[in-house]
Structure 1
Amino acid sequence: MVAEAKVLCQQSVPVLDVEDFAKNVHEVEDVVAVAPSISSPKSFDQNHASEPVSAAALLSSQADVKPVDKIPDLVPASADQQFFPRLRSGSFADIGPRRYMEDEHILIDDLSSHLGSLSNFPKPNAFYGVFDGHGGPEAAAYVRKNVLRLFFEGAKFPRTSDVDENFSEELENSLRKAFHLVDLALADDGSVSSSSGTTALTAMIFGRLLMVANAGDCRAVLCRKGEAIDMSQDHRPIYPSERRRVEELGGNVDDGYLNGVLSVTRALGDWDMKFPRGSSSPLIAEPEFRQVVLTEDDEFLIIGCDGIWDVMSSQHAVSLVRRGLRRHDDPDQCARDLVMEALRLKTFDNLTVIVVCFSPLDHRDPSPQRERRLRYCSLSAEALCSLRALLDSSASGWL
């Protein structure tokens, strides 16, 4: 039943000259291990990012999590400045109860090795993304295939070895431009249906900086000392801020769906629902950003499509992964466990999960030594005499 759609970008790509990058970036595909492709059907399910979910469930799905706006972007001066994450990741995907698989994802634990001479990034550097398609697999597949070219060449990505406030600002501006470039590219590509779209969540790590960009209802959750911290906000029509923006731009929310059709308010593609280029539209490709400086308290990051979060809270997912890492220390297995848990909880969507660990493979939290417990008991004089008589009779039986 499992239809794995895993993309592992962990092999090295030949160094590319800057001028050759645009025409050669497709070579990355040659070193990406992709699950067997799923043929495009003639017709798809309704163009909904997900089936109906109760508004109460969605509004409460992030209620148990520490708000990210309470996390300072900069670490206090007293924090350990010597800490740098040692990255390793794993993923798992399943078609779930759907007829077709429309999710895509990508993992790159060492970004420099893929971009060659284009990169001058702080170490470590990494790129992760989950793209949850709807209205067919074309849009999500296009984004996964072209994301490196459009993000790191078309968007004039910052190239510096220093992570400071200027780098953070340039990175955010570049990612915002990249999301819009991808959105426009989907409009121009004839192989992608105008009714096909995809949500997109990307996470980048440069040195100790974690930057998450999100458009849609995928979610990134950081585990800090066992506590779930949302690094993204779901973009759904039922949320007051998104509903207000939609209605101000002429859209409407009908039974929890944008214009009665789509269960998200931000996505790439879906050009049959967007206004002409240059016009403000209720459905937008504008990402929201959240960032944090990682410390030794940060254990791992979970990135998952909405099929996970429709049936599971952020804290539930963090607790499950944390137990798994302490037991077997395998992020691939943890991703699979999350998918299996969502299936057990009767999710109704495709499922894709990435787990990114910030510690080396041999790192484990030391288990406290259990003190040997000695149990003492006392015997009455009568019991002691009975015990002595029993031992004496047993001894004489051996003689």
Structure 2
Amino acid sequence: MMLYTVRFLCSVVAAFARLVRELRKAIAAMAASSAMMSPIPSAPKTAAVSPVGLIATTPLPLRKKALATVTIPEMKLLTALAPPPQVVAPDVEVEQQMDSKRRRKADWLAGRRPSRLVLPVADDAGEVAAGWGAAAAAVKEADVEVEGEGFWVASRAGPRHAMEDAYSVITGKNGGDSQLAFYGVFDGHGGRAAVDFVSQWLGNNVVSAVLAAEGAATTRDDGASSAEAEHDAVSAAIRAAYLATDSELLAKHQGASGGVCAATALVKNGDLYVAHLGDCRAVLSHDGGAAAALTADHTCAAEGERERIERGGGYVSRSGSGVWRVQGSLAVSRSFGDCGLKQWVVAEPAVTRVPLVAGCEFLVIASDGLWDKVSNQEAVDVVSRSGNAAAAAASAGRSCAELVELARRRGSRDDVTVMVIDLERFVR
């Protein structure tokens, strides 16, 4: 087997050698015939042609000389057409080149560099008008903790904007009645103008209206008792005071977009009258710490409120966050102000009367910054954790601050205002 393989390889090599010899003979014949037919003088005898006709076999010095004889006339022509060279000193030439580079760089930078900005220095009034002051005001707001005659308040501004919560208290002898008192918590939106006005005037309007209605008719045509007539008169006076305050607000701040939610409590002759607009809430603690809500939030999610708005020609839509809003704008359906939505966002409050009897302990009134994160029963538990009403009232001030802190820990970014009112002092 090995012998056959060697013989085969030898035959292949011999055939390849014969092929190469024949190829060289053919190339030589073609070169000779082309040289006889061409008018161009033949190359010198020393120049031979390579077998493949691509690489000249002329020695290197002869190739250089032949190339020079062909290209020199072209070089002379180019030199004749070109302008005479300028003689420049080496140092001057280098300096000119550097200047030219610097000029090109300066022009390039000038084209890329924007014009210089001149920033005016605004005063404080300009910053507030532009909205900068509002963002900084929330940081400057200090926590509020107030202890009064039978009531306690704690309040803290949210981090998003300036403080828009407020409260109001009227106690002592009012019209000769030492048992008449007014308490209120207010939650503004769209600025402080509306909440400042309502917190200043609503309490006075309510007290004045109630005192004016005190001498109303003692009986009604349907034979109702004088007590029931008085209760109805007080409730009607509170509603009238709410509507009158709203009208005064709209007249004073025409075109203002802000509004106010409110929850108020009026104590008169051993009865508690709770009125509210929006999502502020009042919760009663009774019989050893049981929570009872005395208000129902006025929101667009409530079926009755939605029907009322649609009957008036408005609409309620749900935002991307899942909140129902009047005309796609306001989340509450009742409030003070909000003049642009006044056709549907009314200021008529819901009024609830509760007789102050044994077992009524205290009342918690707060803005929605608390109720969004803390339930009714949790709020009552924080105030009454000591286990008895007297001790709960004594620690109510600390409890208000604890509720504010609890809402903040749970993620509330809204303003939070909490008021606790001792009701046992009014029980007869």
- Please tell me the TM-score bracket, short chain as reference: 0.5 to 0.7
Matched with 1:232 is: 295
Give the alignment partner of residue 106 of structure 1, picking from 155, 158, 168: 168
Matched with 1:42 is: 129
1:187 lines up with 2:250 in the alignment: yes
- CA 1:173–1:262: 2 relative to 1, 3 Å: same
Matched with 2:153 is: 91
1:171 lines up with 2:234 in the alignment: yes
Matched with 1:216 is: 278
Matched with 1:142 is: 197
The answer (yes or no) to whether the contact 2:209–2:238 under 8 Å persists in 1 is no
Matched with 1:251 is: 314
Deviation of 1:44 after TM superposition, in Å, equals 6.7
Moved more, 319-328 or 141-150: 319-328
Matched with 1:347 is: 412
Q: How does 1:44-123 map to 2 (within 5 A)?
A: 88-110=150-172, 112=173, 115=174, 119-121=175-177, 123=178
Deviation of 1:230 after TM superposition, in Å, equals 0.7
Deviation of 1:120 after TM superposition, in Å, equals 4.2
- CA 1:165–1:327: 2 relative to 1, 3 Å: closer
The answer (yes or no) to whether the contact 2:170–2:203 under 8 Å persists in 1 is no
Matched with 1:266 is: 334
Deviation of 1:332 after TM superposition, in Å, equals 1.9
SS of corresponding position for 1:228? strand
Matched with 1:338 is: 403
Deviations along 1:86-139, one digit per CA (max 9) or x if unpaired, are: x711001100233210111012332x2xx4xxx143x42210011110010110
Give the alignment partner of residue 259 of structure 2, picking from 197, 202, 205: 197
User: In the aligned structure 2, how far is the partner of 1:261 from the partner of 1:43?
Assistant: 23
- CA 1:189–1:310: 2 relative to 1, 3 Å: same
1:317 lines up with 2:404 in the alignment: no
- CA 1:248–1:104: 2 relative to 1, 3 Å: same
User: In the aligned structure 2, how far is the partner of 1:235 from the partner of 1:243?
Assistant: 10
User: In the aligned structure 2, how far is the partner of 1:271 from the partner of 1:359?
Assistant: 40
The answer (yes or no) to whether the contact 2:194–2:259 under 8 Å persists in 1 is yes
The answer (yes or no) to whether the contact 1:130–1:202 under 8 Å persists in 2 is yes
Deviations along 1:224-255, one digit per CA (max 9) or x if unpaired, are: 12111111110000111111111121222222
Q: Is there any run of 5+ residues in structure 1 with no aligned partner, and where?
A: 1-39, 46-86, 275-280, 361-399
User: In the aligned structure 1, how far is the partner of 2:316 from the partner of 2:285?
Assistant: 34
Deviation of 1:160 after TM superposition, in Å, equals 5.9
Deviation of 1:159 after TM superposition, in Å, equals 3.4
The answer (yes or no) to whether the contact 2:369–2:407 under 8 Å persists in 1 is yes
Give the residue type in structure 2 aligned to 1:272: G
User: In the aligned structure 2, how far is the partner of 1:106 from the partner of 1:252?
Assistant: 34
User: In the aligned structure 2, how far is the partner of 1:212 from the partner of 1:260?
Assistant: 29
The answer (yes or no) to whether the contact 1:89–1:109 under 8 Å persists in 2 is no
Deviation of 1:143 after TM superposition, in Å, equals 0.9
Give the alignment partner of residue 304 of structure 2, picking from 233, 241, 260: 241
Sequence identity percentage: 32
TM-score, scaled relative to structure 2:
0.58
- CA 1:154–1:359: 2 relative to 1, 3 Å: closer
User: In the aligned structure 1, how far is the partner of 2:274 from the partner of 2:130?
Assistant: 33
TM-score, scaled relative to structure 1:
0.62
SS of corresponding position for 1:250? coil
Count of residues paired in the alignment: 266
- CA 1:327–1:283: 2 relative to 1, 3 Å: closer
Matched with 2:79 is: none
User: In the aligned structure 2, how far is the partner of 1:327 from the partner of 1:234?
Assistant: 27
SS of corresponding position for 1:205? strand
The answer (yes or no) to whether the contact 1:138–1:193 under 8 Å persists in 2 is no
User: In the aligned structure 1, how far is the partner of 2:269 from the partner of 2:325?
Assistant: 39
Deviation of 1:215 after TM superposition, in Å, equals 1.1
The answer (yes or no) to whether the contact 2:202–2:242 under 8 Å persists in 1 is no
The structure with more helix, counted as a fraction of residues: 2
Give the residue type in structure 2 aligned to 1:145: Q
